[in-house]
């Protein structure tokens, strides 16, 4: 009764959340949250068509708001969903693991998110010295939470600086697989069906996309250019702005989503979704380490936050059958979107509970399109074609292990041995379509994931892939522009 009364105001405030198909209301019972994994997109940025791509004040505001919302859910002392044992005011660094690819927009997003998650602690952080003087740290107790560079291929390096995300994955078979999309019947059909549409909008973007680039081949970069202008440019300065009707804008966005979805995922060619496979392994490894730590061990890792590009969301959504819950998952997620995996239990925890049986633990999947806030909170969705959005740990790990890739061996097997870094005999050809399923982690989760797919491997492979694919290394300054104008030439097999 008490519970019903408590939930009611929230439900009244968010009627939309309860009506949307596929969405299930959040449970807020006597449940304990043991830990969580958040995968987050960056906030607003400038267009990819002009280098350097810059994180904007609006973007900072978005990720800061999102960080504040996650604080109110998982960190604040008065939250019903506070993560068990997590520090509320002064961050305990061992409880947190925050990563982002080496990319200015994503790194900055992660830093600002953390300012919302653990804001300046003010006088709480003041310290009294031996001589009696009290010292406050700078910026009113601003907290320094490290954002580590991602050391595996879940997210591309410099992803926001490049027009095409897979290019930085370091996985040659995945690059080849994505590239195959440009040889598919689906692609050629869409290319020809939309030719007139893209040409008709030339007056809007011919300064940036000449006639021979104004087509579905550049669906994402064209959409990105126009989308950014809708947020930042005074409409009177946009050439032929009258062509950009709501229906045109939604067509541009829909076509960009189709284009990117097909580069990120293909049901018969799982290696294309390598980013989602690696992420799945990272999620399992992180939640498993929380679950296996003694409940009372204060220093245990409890909250993992990874920033990454929309392409990784798409790869993961494809692999985990998110579109079975809602067709919306086929679309490019908005800036500052996040998905969360909550490790939860209804078991009673007392002060002498040492460990908790995996049988008593479940994982809940939550997603929010755009900035998380009280008005737009993350909602629970079922994955893996299931009915429930909260799955027993064993079911969750079994489903994730169907496509997780978390060891060097599995990664090399799926991606192909290009440089000789991978053990001999592990390579497979780009056309074999062999990938995800071979990478399953047998025991609940092998504890070695992540560290194994090292940056060295990725960086090493990348150099050769660029060569093999006939790409040129260009100065960062010119890279972005070139990719936008020349996207497919870069990836063509010829």
Ligand X SMILES: *[C@@H]1O[C@H](CO)[C@@H](O)[C@H](O)[C@H]1NC(C)=O
In whole angstroms, give the CA distance from residue 165 to residue 106. 13
- Distance of closest approach, residue 177 Cβ to ligand X, in angstroms: 7
Euclidean distance between the first and the last CA atom of the chain, given in angstroms as a whole number: 68
**76 binds ligand X per the rule CB under 6 A:** no
What tokens appear for 147 in the block?
Answer: 């954002």
What tokens appear for 471 in the block?
Answer: 């790409």
* Contact flags string 191-230 toward ligand X, x per CB under 6 A: -----------xxx-xx------------------x--x-
**186 binds ligand X per the rule CB under 6 A:** yes
Q: Please list every residue from 230 through 249 that binds ligand X, using CB under 6 A.
A: 233, 238
**467 binds ligand X per the rule CB under 6 A:** no
Pick from 15, 19, 186, 39: nearest CA to 101: 39
Q: Which one of the spans 147-155, 261-269, 399-407, 466-474 is the region binding ligand X (CB under 6 A)?
A: 261-269
Q: Which is nearer to ligand X, 46 or 158 (CB)?
A: 46
Q: Which is nearer to ligand X, 119 or 444 (CB)?
A: 444
Q: Which one of the spans 66-74, 176-184, 395-403, 414-422 is the region binding ligand X (CB under 6 A)?
A: 176-184
HSE-up of residue 302 (Cα within 13 Å, Cβ side): 26
Q: Which is nearer to ligand X, 186 or 448 (CB)?
A: 186
- Distance of closest approach, residue 122 Cβ to ligand X, in angstroms: 20
Q: Give the number of residues in contact with ligand X, rule: CB under 6 A.
A: 37
**29 binds ligand X per the rule CB under 6 A:** yes
Q: Is 158 left (phi over 0), alpha (psi -120 to 50) or beta?
A: left
458-490 burial by CB neighbour count: b if 16+ within 10 A, else e?
Answer: bebbbeebeeebeeeeeeeeebbbbbbbebeeb
Out of 127, 134, 236, 268, which residue is the one contacting ligand X (CB under 6 A)?
Answer: 268
- Which residues, including other chains, have CB under 8 Å from residue 40's CB and lie 6 or more apart? 63, 66, 109, 110, 113, 305, 306, 307, 308, 336, 337, 338
**390 binds ligand X per the rule CB under 6 A:** yes
**266 binds ligand X per the rule CB under 6 A:** yes
Q: Which one of the spans 139-147, 192-200, 265-273, 348-356 is the region binding ligand X (CB under 6 A)?
A: 265-273
**328 binds ligand X per the rule CB under 6 A:** yes
**65 binds ligand X per the rule CB under 6 A:** no
Do 137 and 91 form a contact (C-beta atoms < 8 A)?
A: no
Q: Which is nearer to ligand X, 286 or 362 (CB)?
A: 362
* Contact flags string 399-438 toward ligand X, x per CB under 6 A: ----------------------------------x-----
Q: Which is nearer to ligand X, 87 or 191 (CB)?
A: 191
Out of 200, 346, 355, 432, which residue is the one contacting ligand X (CB under 6 A)?
Answer: 346
Report which residue's Cβ sits closest to ligand X.
Answer: 331
Q: Which one of the spans 64-72, 101-109, 263-271, 402-410 is the region binding ligand X (CB under 6 A)?
A: 263-271
- Residues lying near ligand X in the complex (CB under 6 A): 27, 29, 31, 129, 131, 133, 180-181, 184, 186, 202-204, 206-207, 226, 229, 233, 238, 253, 257, 262, 266, 268-269, 328-329, 331, 333-334, 344-346, 362, 369, 390, 433
């Amino acid at each position: 009764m008490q519970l019903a009364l408590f939930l009611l105001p929230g439900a009244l405030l968010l009627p939309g959340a309860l009506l949307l198909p596929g969405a299930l209301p959040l449970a807020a019972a006597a449940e304990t949250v043991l830990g969580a994994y958040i995968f987050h997109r960056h906030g607003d940025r400038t267009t990819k068509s002009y280098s350097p791509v810059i994180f904007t004040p609006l973007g900072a505001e978005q990720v800061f708001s999102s960080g504040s919302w996650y604080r109110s859910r998982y960190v604040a002392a008065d939250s019903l969903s506070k993560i068990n044992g997590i520090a509320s005011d002064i961050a305990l660094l061992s409880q947190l693991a925050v990563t982002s690819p080496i990319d200015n927009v994503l790194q900055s997003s992660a830093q600002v998110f953390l300012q919302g998650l653990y804001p300046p602690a003010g006088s709480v952080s003041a310290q009294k010295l031996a001589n009696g003087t009290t010292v406050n740290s700078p910026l009113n107790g601003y907290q320094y939470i490290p954002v580590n560079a991602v050391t595996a291929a879940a997210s591309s390096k410099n992803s926001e600086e490049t027009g095409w995300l897979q290019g930085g994955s370091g996985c040659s078979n995945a690059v080849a697989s994505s590239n195959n999309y440009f040889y598919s019947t689906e692609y050629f059909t869409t290319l020809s069906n939309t030719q007139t549409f893209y040409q008709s909008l030339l007056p809007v973007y011919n300064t940036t996309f000449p006639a021979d680039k104004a087509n579905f081949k550049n669906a994402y970069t064209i959409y990105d250019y126009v989308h950014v202008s809708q947020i930042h440019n005074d409409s009177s300065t946009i050439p032929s702005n009258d062509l950009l009707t709501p229906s045109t804008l939604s067509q541009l966005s829909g076509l960009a989503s189709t284009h990117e979805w097909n580069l990120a995922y293909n049901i018969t060619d799982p290696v294309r979704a390598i980013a989602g496979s690696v992420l799945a392994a990272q999620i399992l490894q992180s939640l498993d380490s929380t679950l296996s730590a003694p409940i009372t061990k204060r220093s245990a890792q409890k909250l993992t936050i990874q920033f990454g590009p929309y392409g990784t969301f798409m790869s993961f959504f494809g692999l985990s059958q998110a579109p079975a819950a809602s067709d919306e998952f086929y679309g490019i997620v908005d800036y500052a979107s996040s998905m969360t995996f909550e490790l939860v239990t209804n078991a009673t925890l007392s002060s002498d509970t040492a460990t908790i049986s995996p049988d008593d633990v479940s994982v809940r999947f939550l997603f929010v399109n755009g900035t998380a806030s009280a008005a737009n909170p993350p909602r629970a969705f079922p994955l893996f074609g299931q009915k429930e959005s909260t799955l027993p740990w064993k079911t969750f790990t079994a489903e994730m292990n169907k496509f997780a890739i978390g060891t060097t061996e599995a990664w090399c097997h799926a991606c192909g041995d290009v440089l000789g870094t991978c053990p001999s005999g592990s390579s497979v050809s780009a056309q074999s379509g062999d990938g995800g399923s071979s990478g399953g982690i047998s025991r609940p989760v092998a504890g070695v994931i992540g560290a194994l797919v090292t940056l060295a491997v990725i960086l090493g492979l990348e150099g050769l892939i660029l060569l093999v694919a006939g790409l040129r290394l260009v100065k960062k300054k010119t890279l972005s522009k070139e990719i936008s104008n020349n996207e497919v030439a870069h990836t063509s097999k010829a």
